[in-house]
Amino acid sequence: MSDKPRKFKGGVHPEDSKALSASKPVQTAPLLGKYTVIVHQNIGAPPEIVVKKGDLVKKGQLLAKATGFVSVPLHAPTSGTVTAIEKCPGPACVSVPAIEITADGQDEWGSPFEPIADWQNADPAVLKQRVVDAGIVGMGGAGFPSHVKLSPTKPVDTLILNGAECEPYLTADHRLMLEQTEDVLLGAAILARILGLETAVIGVEANKPDAISKLNAFASNYNVTVQTLAVNYPQGAEKQLIYALTGREVPIGGLPMDVGCVVQNVASAVAVADAVIKGHPSIERITTVTGEPVVNPGNWRFRIGTPISKAIELAGGVKVQPAKLLLGGPMMGFAQNSLDVTVMKNTSGILLIPVEQVSQYTSEPCIRCGRCVEACPMDILPATISQAVENERFDWAEQLNVAACIECGSCSYVCPSHRPLNQHFKRAKAEILAAKRKQQKK
């Protein structure tokens, strides 16, 4: 592969604002008195709670077991007592079931998994089972169970590690690659073994030169190649990443394995390495707490169940009242209206956005400038689809391939009329799905 940064069609270049936290080493958050672990942290079926109120749990003990193939188990972030199992604010501003654990302060490991030190000679099936048991999900944001991707039903020839971190502001993956370089590569090698592959490729955006050079220094030891990617949002989107690295187009509605690829986030790779080498389940992650209003932006290692309010407190609180609180990055993150939401396995960032940056919804009509068409990485016509949705013509939106939309938000970002394009697509997809379900029922 050449050294020229790889890129895809379309995309936008928002100001990356990563300088706020890029140079801050990862700190481990201190042990809290109480954790509220949201039960459903993955795409797919929610796990089934196996503890009850009053139970004593050890760190890493199973709290909820997987309820199917596309489901992952949940483990206790620390040792203590289950003090409540009730609803708490979830990441979509809707209450969701959660398990409250009051820590006993001992932070004592239960019986973790047996470390598999000799992973190079271990049976890939055993390694894969470890990924299943450790409850690892895609930690880049989507929360798709990792083991599902590791069980392709089609031949796979390429393992891609996603270190693009194209979202502005976020630096969690950047710090991870810099500080735990060998863990990332080790995870890549283990994942490659599970898939029966010799090599893996890790794609990193060119705005992280220190991480790229550090990865390059060790990569050959693990049979991994490092590929520089052009700085272009949404470079980290699975389909765009695959296209940039391999030139293959994932079909609409298809999966990476349809083109022989498996994509895993770098943080997930480290979680895999931890699960195999140390025997630890997925109970912590690195999260960036940042934004202009934050007093001390930085990167922290949080356990799942840490309330956002504690995370913001650790970052020194805020200088001014922010306009928005987001989980994730500014392009695809979810706006929150409660500080009681807790860190989940896929919380890559806690972002506070200042009032000046919040664009107001103005509902100006489309002037058909075509900027959204140019920016769309999926080559659909956002302006036309949005008009179809405004007229509630969801059949028309479907014909215009709204299903291909990855909701990256590039179109809304560039729109001079500040139209809520992305929200329109979300609506269209929801309505199309509802219509299909209705039809199936009939």
Partner 1 sequence: MSESETTVVQMPDATKLVVSNSPHIRGGETISKIMVQVFIALMPAAIAAVWFFGLAALEVMVLCVMGCMAVEVLWNKAAKKPSGSWKDGSAALTGLLLAMNLSSGAPWWICILGSLLAIVLGKQLFGGLGYNPFNPALVARVALLIGFPQLMTSWIAPQPGNWLACDALTGATPLAATGKELASISDLFYGNVGGCLGETSALALLLGGAFLLFRRIIKWQIPASFIATVAIITGLAHHVNPELTPPALYHVLAGGLMIGAFFMATDMVTSPMTANGALIFGVGCGVITSVIRVWGGYPEGVSFSILFMNALTPLIDRYTIGKPFGYIRIKKETAQ
Partner 2 sequence: MMLIITAVLFTAGLGALLALIIGATARAFAVETDSRIETVTEMLPGVNCGGCGYAGCADFAKAIVEGRTLPVQCPVSTSVHTARIAEYLGITAGEKEKVIAVVRCGGSCAVTVRSPYNGVSDCRSAVLVAGGAKGCDFGCVGFASCARACPFDAIEMRDGLAVVHPELCIGCGKCVDTCPKNLIVLTPAAVDVHVYCNSPEKGAVKTKVCKTACIACRKCVKAADNETQMTVNGFLVADNYSNPPISDLVEKAKCPTKALRLASKHAAGAYEGVSK
Sign of the dihedral through C-alpha 410, 413, 419, 420: positive
Q: How far is the CB of 88 from partner 2 (least distance, A)?
A: 10
Indicate which single residue of 25, 30, 54, 155 sits in contact with partner 1 (rule: CB under 8 A).
30
Per-residue contact flags (x/-) with partner 1 for residues 178 to 217, judged by CB under 8 A = ----------------------------------------
- Please, are residues 291 and 269 in contact by the beta-carbon 8 Å criterion? no
Among partner 2, partner 1, none, what does residue 168 contact (CB within 5–8 Å per kind)?
Answer: partner 1
CA-CA distance, 432 to 200, in Å (whole number)?
Answer: 37
Among partner 2, partner 1, none, what does residue 142 contact (CB within 5–8 Å per kind)?
Answer: none
Sign of the dihedral through C-alpha 278, 173, 189, 137: positive
Task: Kindly indicate which of the ranges 240-248, 304-312, 373-381, 425-433 contains the residues binding partner 2, using the contact rule CB under 8 A.
Answer: 425-433
Residue with tokens 């700085």: 231
Q: How far is the CB of 431 from partner 1 (least distance, A)?
A: 15
Among partner 2, partner 1, none, what does residue 298 contact (CB within 5–8 Å per kind)?
Answer: none
Applying CB under 8 A, does 93 fall inside the site for partner 2?
A: yes
Q: How far is the CB of 78 from partner 2 (least distance, A)?
A: 26
Q: Which of residues 67-126 bind partner 1 (CB under 8 A)?
A: 93
Nearest residue (CB) to partner 1, 31 versus 70? 31
- Nearest C-alpha neighbor of 93 from the set 299, 291, 337, 286: 337
Q: Which of residues 362-391 bind partner 1 (CB under 8 A)?
A: 364-371, 373, 377-381, 383-384
- Buried b or exposed e, range 26-47, using 16+ CB within 10 angstroms: beebeebebbbbbbbbbbbebb
Q: How far is the CB of 189 from partner 1 (least distance, A)?
A: 30
Indicate which single residue of 95, 106, 213, 399 sits in contact with partner 2 (rule: CB under 8 A).
95
Strands (DSSP E) contained in 53-170 are 56-57, 62-65, 74-75, 80-89, 95-103, 158-163
User: How many beta carbons lie within 10 A of that of residue 208, not counting itself?
Assistant: 25
Indicate which single residue of 50, 56, 217, 358 sits in contact with partner 1 (rule: CB under 8 A).
358
- Please, are residues 279 and 115 in contact by the beta-carbon 8 Å criterion? yes
Q: How far is the CB of 362 from partner 1 (least distance, A)?
A: 9
Task: Kindly indicate which of the ranges 1-9, 53-61, 85-93, 153-161 contains the residues binding partner 2, using the contact rule CB under 8 A.
Answer: 85-93
Applying CB under 8 A, does 430 fall inside the site for partner 2?
A: yes
- Please, are residues 344 and 419 in contact by the beta-carbon 8 Å criterion? no
CA-CA distance, 160 to 158, in Å (whole number)?
Answer: 6
CA-CA distance, 317 to 309, in Å (whole number)?
Answer: 9
Q: How far is the CB of 148 from partner 2 (least distance, A)?
A: 25
What's 32's DSSP letter? Answer: P
CA-CA distance, 259 to 251, in Å (whole number)?
Answer: 8
Applying CB under 8 A, does 321 fall inside the site for partner 2?
A: no
Q: Which of residues 152-171 bind partner 1 (CB under 8 A)?
A: 168
Q: How far is the CB of 406 from partner 2 (least distance, A)?
A: 16
Residue with tokens 């939106």: 397
Q: Could you list the residues that contact partner 2 (CB under 8 A)?
A: 87, 92-95, 335, 337, 358, 360-361, 420, 423-424, 426-427, 430-431
